[in-house]
Amino acid sequence: MSRRYSTGRFAVVATVFALAFVALLGRFAWIQVVRSDHWRARAQVRSTDVVDEPARRGRLLDRSGRVLAATEEWTVVGVSRPTRWRREGDVARLAALLGCTVEEIDRRLRRDVRHVVLGEFRIDAATRKELLEVAPVSFERRARRVYPHGDVAASLLGLVRESGDGVTGLEAVFDDVLSGEPGRVLERRDAARIVRDRRVLEPPVDGADLRLTVDLHVQAIVERELESARLEAGAHRAQAMVLDPSTGDVIALAQTPADPEPLPDDPEMSRWRVMPATDVFEPGSVFKLFTAASLLRRGVCDTSTVFDGMREHPDQYRSKKEFPGGYTIRDVHPVGRVSLRHAFARSSNIVFATAALELLERTEIHDDFRAFGFGEYPGVGFPGETAGILRSPDDPRWSKRTKSTLAIGQEVAVSLLQLGAGAAVVLGDGNLRRPRFVSTIERTDGTVESLPPVVRRRGVVGAEVTSRLRAMTTDVVATDYGTGSRARVAGLEVGGKTGTAQVAERGGGYIDGIYNPTFIGLAPARDPRLVMVVVFHRAPGRTATGGGVAAPVFASIVREVAASTRLLDEGVRETVTPAAMIQAPHLVGRSVAEIRELAVRASWGESLGSLPEQGSVVAQIPPPGTPMRPGARIQVAFGREGR
């Protein structure tokens, strides 16, 4: 190869390299000088993601619109590599946007770490955008469920997971309505995965608010009286239900303690279960209300039909009867030859067992109890809701004594929801309704959807039967020989039925000396606006009776409801004179120190109980200005976030 050819080739290669270098230099200048802003922005954005934007969970409101549960949205704000980007004025601007002091923000930013959490803040979209202009800020959304009235109706309202799903109580039953629909957001992130830009593609649809049938004031009264009586009686737990028999509206549903122990056969079950829907018990003598309804419904006897209660002597304390099947029924309140109505007031086991055995077929008594809602799911939808136990006549465990024992509330297990709904049938208008907890759904677009009462079975009993049953329950309370005299309320005619059920043991038999005192009550008796069921579980001692423990709780609740609400206005004949009434003080917003000072001089002071060391009142029951009796109790709440 010639030297001349070699030199020429070198020149060509050198020229090519020179041109390439010039091109690279020009491209570099174009990028660094002309398009520097464009490429700097492109360098900050390394990824683009489409993510869900959670919807705000709807609120739970009581029947008057008072907030029982709501969601507060917080944002966890963090900063990446704080020591590398701080410039003069950045810290002050961050502090101003977040509502903190400059010293507090500066102290956190001085940490030489990859990422610093500044804290949880309530910020809006505009503030979020401004923060992104100041620093490489990260955001993490936190939704917090808050219950302004503390533990009032805690088990009924239920719990919400951190993810936002309802898991117990009404939060679970209406989770689909409350949770709403998530939206979609386009997020652009830089190399440090910090969100640099957010664009809403589809806005979230926030969950609807639910207006409950529950009255916060009545609920608080029921819980307070129930817990006080439970502690006094030494009962293991207690439940109570107040409902409107004309609609099935549940005005109060209480259990105490609020977080019962797990069930023996299901230890994993939530301690926050709604016991009135999940737990069953033998109802005992309150079930004679439904036996009487069956007898009258079938027309096999009248309230004046005479039965022999086997009492042989006026001073006889107990009586017993040997039945043809080889079993014995005993009476604690023995009667001789009396009418069905008198036997009902005295709660005679022998009379009702005899009447059922002689006058009702096994299919008739079973079908009637089924028609009253027993042995069926109430249909509310609480997690773990039970259908109870009501054996079919074809069940091999149906024995010669089953008809008699069913008539007095044994060999059957019911939930409080079933017992309350059944009582509303035979003491109301004769229709079986699903217990209703929500009256309206109030959506964010302003539309309101009504949820009418659901009638599950119409015409279960006729008007004549319900009228006679109300009269019979009035005897229980108003007569000297009735077992429910301690349920009397001055100025208001009420009725009821007592029960003192034995507690069944696993494997058969009953626990000696342990009882479930129960009372089913109605007010006013002739045209009930309220039906109430009160049940205590595992109360010790011979004095733990329905008339001695449960009936007084009914009376206490009715008195206070009549005095502080309008629910019973039409039935009250004699009320406290207006001059004797006082108005509930305005305690909301006052500090603990102020409350203590006021309580010393006020008639309601002793009812407050223990107070926290500091804080201020966020809610009170009854509300400020409500008419109340002198010395009536006032409950105050200092707020509680989550549970």
When pLDDT is averaged across residues 501-519 and rounded to a whole number, the result is 88
Task: Please give the Cα distance from 83 to 311 (Å, whole number).
Answer: 94
3-state secondary structure of 319: strand
Is residue 95 exposed (0-12), middle (13-18) or buried (19+ Cβ within 10 Å)?
Answer: middle
What local confidence, expressed as pLDDT, does residue 92 receive? 81
- Both 391 and 422 in one domain: the answer is yes
Asked if 226 and 253 count as a contact pair (C-beta separation under 8 A), the reply is no
Asked, for residue 119, whether it belongs to a domain, the answer is: yes
* Count of the separate structural domains present in the chain: 4
Residue of 342, 285, 244, 292 whose CA lies nearest to 465:
292
460-471 pLDDT per residue, tens:
999 999 999 999
User: Are both 336 and 361 inside the same structural domain?
Assistant: yes
Q: Looking at 157, 184, 212, which one is the last position of a domain?
A: 212
One domain for residues 550 and 418: yes
pLDDT band at 380 (very low <50, low <70, confident <90, very high): very high
Q: What pTM was estimated for this model as a whole?
A: 0.79
Q: Does some domain include residue 129? A: yes
Residue 580 has pLDDT above 90, yes or no: no
φ, ψ dihedrals at 264, nearest 5°: -60, -35
Q: In CATH, what number is assigned to the domain containing residue 448?
A: 3.40.710.10
Pairing of strands 635-637, 640-641: unpaired
pLDDT of residue 575: 42
pLDDT band at residue 262, thresholds of 50, 70 and 90?
low
355/477 same-domain check: yes
**Cβ proximity of 284 and 332 under 8 Å:** no
Confirm whether 270 is domain-assigned. Answer: no
Average pLDDT, stretch 186-211?
A: 75
SS3 481: coil
What is the CA 387 to chain-centroid distance, rounded?
Answer: 19
pLDDT band at 314 (very low <50, low <70, confident <90, very high): low
Give me the mean pLDDT over the 374-401 stretch.
Answer: 94
Please report whether residue 266 resides in a domain: no
pLDDT at residue 576, as a whole number? 40
Domain range for 29 is 3-43
Q: Distance (Å, rounded) from C-alpha 116 to C-alpha 118?
A: 6
- Other beta carbons within 10 angstroms of residue 370's beta carbon come to 14
Give the whole-angstrom CA distance, residue 96 versus residue 154. 38
Q: Buried (b) or exposed (e) across 593-609, using 16+ Cβ within 10 A?
A: eebeeebeebebeeebe
**Of 10-14, 226-230, 396-400, 485-489, which range is least confident?**
10-14
Is the domain of 484 the same as that of 416? Answer: yes
pLDDT, mean of residues 529-541 = 96
Highest averaged pLDDT of the listed ranges 160-164, 183-187, 512-516: 512-516
Domain identity same for 160 and 19: no
556 and 592 in one domain? no
Cα torsion 315, 321, 327, 331 to 10°: value is: -40
